[in-house]
Structures are given as C-alpha cells and as structure tokens.
C-alpha cells in the first residue's frame, strides 16, 4: 500500500508540529504510530551522563576522607549537601527549560557546565599540581558545585524531553516502556562505572591513589554524552517554551491569596479567587499540580535513606571483610549491587510481580507501589541496623573525652618490667620482648595525664643490652582523647620516643602499617619495603626509630624487607587492620642482630561484606517500586503545561531528603551509629503510614483523549480504589 509522508502531528503538549513518523495511507487513514527514533539518542545520552555521575559519586566519599582528610561525619555531610544541590537545581532547570531555553537547549548548555565541573574535580585530585590541602579542598568543592549545577539542570528535562517524543494517549504503552528503558540505561551506566572507578582509584598515580583518573574517566564520558545528544537534534520533537511559568504560577497563587484575605468570600477552591485576572485553564492546571505536589510532601524521607548507600553504607563496608577467594571486593564497589539488581528487578517486576499482584487487586496502582516501596526502605534500614549491631563488636576502642590511651612498644627481644603510679593505684606492667602493652582507659583532663614509672631492665642486661640499668625512673604522659605510643629501645624509655598513633579503622578499608624499629647509626636511613608476589608494592622510609603510617595497596601476604634484608616472610595483612612492624637492629658482641614481629594495633575486619546483601536487595526492591513509579506518576499526572515543573518537584523531594541527612548528622543525636540507622527506619515507617492515608483520598487524573482538531476532553478523576481502571495503567485488552 502506498503511503504519503505527512509531517503534521500533535505532541504531548497539544501542539501541531512537523514530525516524520506520522504516516497516512492513500485512503487517508492514519497508520499505527512508529516508535520515535529520537529516544535512542536520549537514552544513549542518559547512559553516558549517568556513567559520569555515578562513577564520580561512587568514589566521592572515600576521596573526601582519604585524600582531603575529612572525618567520616564531615565527609557524609559534604556528600549529602552535594546530593541536595544535585536535586535542588532541577527547579532552576525547569525554569530555564519551560520559560526561556526549551528542554533541548537547557540540556545542551548546562551539560557543558557539568563537563567543566568534572574536569576541575579531576584536576584537584592530581597530587603534583602543587595544591595545598586547603586549595585542593576548595577546588574540589567548586568542581562539585558545578557538577551539581549541571546534573541538576539536566534532570527535570531529560525524562520529560523523552516523553515529549510520544503521542498520548495512542502511545501510552510505548511511553511506559520508555520510562523502563530509560531507567534501565541509568542503571547500566551506573553498574559499569560503579565497578570501574573504584578499581581506577586503587591504581597508583604520582605515588598516591589515582583518584584523578577515577574522576577523569567520568569527565570524558560526560563530554561523549554531549556529543551523542547533539547528534540526534534533527530527529527530536522540540516543544517551544511558553513563557515564565514559575513566575506566572507564583503570581497567580499570590493573587488568589490576596483576594481571599481581602474579600473573605467563599469559593469552591481558594485558587478560584484568582479568576478575575487569570484564565480558568491556568487555575485548573495549578490545582492539578498542587494536588500532585501535595503527595510529594512525605516522600523526602525515602531519599534520606536511599542515598546513604554512597555514604554511610560505604563507610560501613570499609569496616567489613571483602575478601572473596583471591579477589577483594572494594568497599565502594559494593554500590554496584544496586544497579545490577535494578537490571534484574525491572523486567522481573514488570512481567511477574506486578501482574501477579494485579490479579488479586494488590499493588495495582502507582500510589500503592509507592507505599510498599517506602515500607521496604524501612525494612532495609532495619537490616542495616542489625549489621551495624554485629559490626560494633569488632570496632576498636577509640580515645574519648576524659580519657587517654597509652601504648608501650618494646623494640628489644627481652622483657621489661614497669611499675606505673596510676591516679588511684600502682600498676605493674610486664612487657615481653617485641610486644605491645596498652592501657585504653587512662583518666585524663585537658592538660593530659602524667604517670611516674620505675623500669626494671634486668632481663635485658642478661640478654646482652649492657647499656641498660635497673630501677630507671621517669614519667609517661598521655593526651586526652588521643592514643599516645611510647617506645622502649636499648637506651631506655625516652621522652623523645613517643608519637600520636592512629587506631581507628582505615578510611577505605585497606590495611595500614607503620614501622617501629630501633636502628644503629649506619642503618638510620633504611627503607622498609613490602613485596606482594615478589613485587615491591609499598616502600616506607625509616628514621632512626619509626616511619609514618602507610596504607598497603591491598590485603594479602607480604614479604617484608629492611633494605635488602628479609625481615618477615609471608605475613598476612587483612582489610581494616592497623599494624606495626616492631623490631630492632643493634650491635651485640660485634654482630648485627635483627629481630622483628608484627603487632596488631587494630584488629582487622571480621564480618564479611556479604552481610550487606540483604539491605541492598531490599532497598533496590524499594527503589524499583518507588523511583520508577514516582517518575511516571509525576509525568502522567502533571498538566500538559507543567510537566517539567512536576518532574522538578519530584526531584526536589530528593534534595530535601538529603537535607534531612545533613541535619541529623550535623546534630549528632547519638554516639552509636546503630541508633541513627534505626532512627531512619522508624521515621520511614511513620511517614509511609501517613502517606498511605493520603493516597486513599487521592483521585487519579486520566490522560485526556486528543481530537483531530486539537481540542481535549476535560480531566477525569478516578477514585483510588478504582485506579486500576485508568487506561494509563491498564494492560491493552485487545
């Protein structure tokens, strides 16, 4: 059958616009509309952009702690402030899109800002730039701000721009498929980048962790996304902006409130007071928008829970054992479980779970899916709290206010006896050769604590350390809320031989090690090296007594050398452990004698990272039911003139969710992380109970049929209990 290419078709905004997909046969009958080719460019662009964003964000928390030296609480706050901006800026993206630039231009121009931010962040992470810590922090935060501005400006436009490519209601099933494919592309990009960028940051660049490369690859993908998006321009259905919508809506609402207060007359709806100036269509659209936005009010708490996968859950993973056979799952790679499960769960829910529940009239409307998704998020945090409860038994005891920690390392291969005058009693300490003695709860005030001691070196004299004397007296000091380590050497217990130690779990999980070895003068500049599979992976310069605390590249068995001399063979260093190589090289009877042992200062991680799987599985199920449904709900329930605005409103709920995390973390309500986790679980359950009541009274708005002359029928409210009759959510019965 011959066809004529007729290029007039209505878009979802109700406009008539040229488009090549509309075909009319020789008899004048319209053929079935084809799936828009333009959406493939949009989906490809989204894949690259999400690869860029999630790849960068996956390693962000550990970058803040390991490279910029923020503590976990501060890093968590920065992470969620950044995420808050990411989801706040969509409001401005919607204004730009609907009022001035249009969706295409907004996406294109803001993406350029986005790419610049990624490049700045990558530059700030290069150690050889000469930036000091404060400069690196400032440049990194500026790059993060530009990234938030860029991705935030894009967010309200991309999914709505994709929706603009379809004709409704004829292509409603295609539209639903698009949202699933769209979300699938997001998680495909997220999965690949979440696995890749942690591996990149583990590489060594300029004798340091290669966070710069981990940020550079996402920056390149962002540039690729801009190119891909621009390539599809000739195929896009581009809806022209219709004026400053936000200002108009604000003015209309303000005018309605003014008239209501001034006239005090009763109307069916308070917005009806604005009908003396504004058109009925605008007022009705605002009413419909407010009805949807009202449903968003309880939802931010979901995002407060969901986005902690990249902060608190990642820090939780750093304190767990990721060893799987000969391979180690990095803490930030655990985030890849979410997009991997998303790719599995989306088709599973669409083809099995939802149809099964629809047959028994359960979870068969969007709001019901949102309710169930919210409660699942609460359950996920209950699971996370139980894991934290198990982890607490493995955490080191940290220095705290009113207390000091004191550790004494004996570098000699002989026993030393100490009598310590404690504030309330005399304590005897026997420190065997190449061992550590620790006091974890020494009372101290702001000026610290001083413990007089008497040392007995009689065993060492017998062992050949002839310079040592018996009944040596002195003072051991400690600082409040610090871990002070003292070193016994062949010349005694010297006040110069002390340092402030780190006893907390390593920031990114890899084992950390320090050398404490007494060296003779000719060996005072020796180097402590660690060989993994006969290759030197870590070198630590020694002073006469100790080295700095250094992170090993990975857990495993290492051969330890002092210069070319083998010190220890096949010593195992595990994730989360803090170790000290303790020993001495002294001249006895004209011979150099080398002795050393590995001391575990902080026990390694004992709980396997697999214990995190239940909470990741549950939160991903919650995401499928909550995020995908909410995205579609915001689009289909929005008036035609305000779709980007409602998309921004949906994303704005995410911003407030991250703000909740910042407020709670900044207020430090609990000393134990477990209580904070259970607080989120309880808040989520209470809020979703309120949302359940609200959803009962919500009336769905049907997508209006479109006439050939461009007119539309009025909105049809559907009761929540009959929401499954809405054609937007009903399977084709043909």
Q: What are 595-639's pLDDT values in tens digits?
A: 889 999 999 999 999 999 999 999 999 999 998 888 778 878 878
Looking at residue 100, the DSSP 8-state letter turns out to be I
The pLDDT assigned to 490 comes to 81
**Residues 6+ away with beta carbon under 8 Å from 254:** none
Alpha carbons within 13 angstroms on the beta-carbon side of residue 574 total 17
For 372-424, strand residue ranges (E) read 403-410, 416-421
CB atoms within 10 A of CB 524: 12
Distance between CA 558 and CA 555 in Å, rounded?
9
The single-letter DSSP state of residue 399 is P
Distances (CA, A) of 108 to 53, 113, 227, 245, 350: 16, 9, 9, 21, 32
Sequence-distant (6+) residues with CB within 8 A of 54 are 189, 190, 193, 194, 339
> Residue 475 forms beta bridges with which residues?
452
H or E element that contains 205: strand 204-205
Nearest-angstrom CA–CA distance, 723 and 731: 13
The per-residue pLDDT for 444 is 92
| Residue-wise pLDDT tens digits, 223-238 | 999 999 999 999 998 8
What is residue 281's three-state secondary structure?
helix
Nearby residues of 10 by Cβ (< 8 Å), 6 or more positions away: 16, 17, 167, 706, 710
Main-chain dihedrals φ then ψ at residue 486, nearest 5 degrees: -110, 150
The ranges of the chain with pLDDT < 70 are 1-32, 243-244, 462, 464, 466, 522-523, 586-593, 644-645, 648, 702-734
- CB-CB neighbours of 169 under 10 Å: 17
Asked if residues 516 and 582 have their Cβ atoms less than 8 Å apart, the reply is yes
**How confident is the model at residue 21, as a pLDDT?**
43
Tell me how crowded residue 658 is: count the other CB atoms within 10 A of its CB. Answer: 27
Token pair, residue 643, equals 């779709």
Please list, in sequence order, all residues whose beta carbon lies within 8 angstroms of the beta carbon of residue 331, skipping any fewer than 6 positions away. 62, 198, 314, 315, 317, 318, 320, 322, 508, 509, 609
327, 690 Cβ separation under 8 angstroms:
no
Q: For residue 620, what pLDDT is reported?
A: 95
């Amino acid at each position: 059958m011959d066809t004529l290419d007729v290029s007039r078709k209505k878009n979802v905004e109700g406009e008539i616009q040229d488009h090549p997909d509309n075909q009319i046969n020789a008899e004048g009958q319209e053929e079935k509309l084809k799936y828009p080719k333009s959406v493939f460019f949009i989906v490809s662009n989204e894949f690259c952009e999400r690869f860029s964003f999630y790849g960068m964000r996956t390693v962000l928390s550990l970058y803040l702690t390991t490279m910029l030296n923020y503590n976990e609480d501060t890093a968590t706050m920065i992470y969620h402030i950044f995420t808050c901006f990411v989801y706040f800026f969509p409001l401005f993206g919607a204004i730009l899109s609907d009022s001035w630039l249009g969706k295409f231009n907004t996406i294109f121009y803001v993406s350029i800002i986005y790419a610049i931010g990624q490049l700045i962040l990558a530059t700030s992470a290069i150690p050889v730039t000469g930036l000091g810590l404060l400069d690196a922090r400032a440049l990194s935060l500026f790059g993060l701000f530009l990234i938030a501005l860029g991705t935030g400006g894009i967010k309200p436009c991309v999914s709505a721009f994709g929706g603009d490519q379809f004709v409704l209601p004829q292509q409603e099933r295609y539209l639903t498929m698009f949202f699933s494919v769209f979300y699938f592309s997001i998680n495909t990009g997220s999965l690949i980048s979440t696995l890749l960028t942690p591996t990149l940051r583990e590489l060594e660049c300029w004798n340091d962790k290669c966070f710069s490369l981990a940020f550079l690859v996402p920056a390149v993908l962002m540039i690729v996304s801009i190119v891909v998006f621009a390539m599809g321009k000739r195929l896009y259905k581009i809806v022209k902006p219709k004026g400053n919508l936000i200002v108009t809506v604000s003015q209309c609402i303000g005018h309605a409130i003014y008239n209501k207060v001034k006239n005090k007359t009763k109307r069916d709806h308070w917005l009806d007071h604005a009908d003396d100036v504004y058109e009925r269509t605008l007022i009705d659209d605002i009413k419909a928008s407010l009805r949807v936005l009202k449903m968003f009010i309880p939802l931010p708490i979901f995002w407060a829970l969901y986005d902690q996968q990249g902060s608190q859950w990642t820090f939780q993973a750093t304190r767990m054992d990721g060893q799987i056979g000969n391979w180690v799952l990095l803490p930030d790679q655990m985030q890849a479980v979410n997009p991997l499960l998303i790719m599995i769960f989306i088709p599973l829910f669409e083809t099995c779970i939802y149809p099964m529940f629809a047959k028994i009239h359960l979870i068969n409307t969007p709001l019901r899916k949102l309710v169930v998704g919210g409660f699942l998020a609460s359950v996920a945090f209950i699971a996370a709290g139980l894991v934290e409860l198990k982890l607490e038994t493995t955490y080191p005891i940290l220095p705290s206010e009113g207390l000091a920690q004191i550790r004494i390392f004996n570098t000699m291969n002989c026993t030393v006896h100490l009598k310590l005058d404690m504030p309330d009693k005399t304590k005897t300490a026997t420190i065997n050769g190449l061992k550590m003695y620790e006091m974890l709860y020494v009372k101290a005030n702001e000026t610290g604590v001083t413990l007089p001691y008497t040392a007995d070196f009689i065993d060492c004299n017998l062992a050949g350390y002839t310079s040592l004397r018996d009944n040596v007296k002195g003072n051991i000091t400690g600082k409040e809320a610090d871990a002070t380590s003292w070193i016994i050497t062949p010349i005694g217990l010297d006040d110069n031989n002390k340092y402030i130690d780190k006893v907390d779990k390593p920031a990114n999980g890899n084992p950390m090690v320090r050398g404490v070895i007494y060296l003779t003068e000719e060996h005072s500049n020796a180097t402590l090296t660690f060989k993994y599979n006969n290759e030197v992976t870590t070198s630590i310069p020694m002073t006469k007594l100790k080295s700095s605390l250094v992170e090993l590249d990975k857990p495993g068995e290492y051969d330890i050398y002092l210069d070319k001399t083998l010190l220890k063979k096949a010593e195992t260093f595990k994730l989360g452990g803090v170790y000290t190589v303790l020993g001495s090289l002294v001249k006895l009877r004209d011979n150099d004698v080398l002795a050393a042992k590995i001391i575990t200062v902080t026990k390694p991680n004992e709980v396997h990272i697999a214990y995190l799987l239940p909470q990741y599985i549950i939160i991903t199920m919650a995401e499928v039911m909550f995020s995908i449904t909410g995205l579609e709900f915001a689009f289909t329930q929005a008036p035609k003139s305000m779709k980007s605005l409602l998309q921004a409103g949906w994303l704005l709920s995410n911003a407030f969710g991250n703000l909740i995390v910042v407020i709670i973390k900044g207020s430090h309500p609990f000393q134990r992380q477990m209580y904070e986790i259970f607080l989120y679980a309880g808040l989520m359950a209470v809020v979703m109970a309120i949302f359940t009541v609200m959803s009962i009274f919500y009336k769905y708005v049907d997508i209006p049929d479109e006439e050939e002359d461009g007119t539309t029928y009025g909105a049809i409210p559907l009761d929540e209990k009959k929401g499954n009759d809405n054609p937007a959510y009903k399977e084709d019965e043909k």
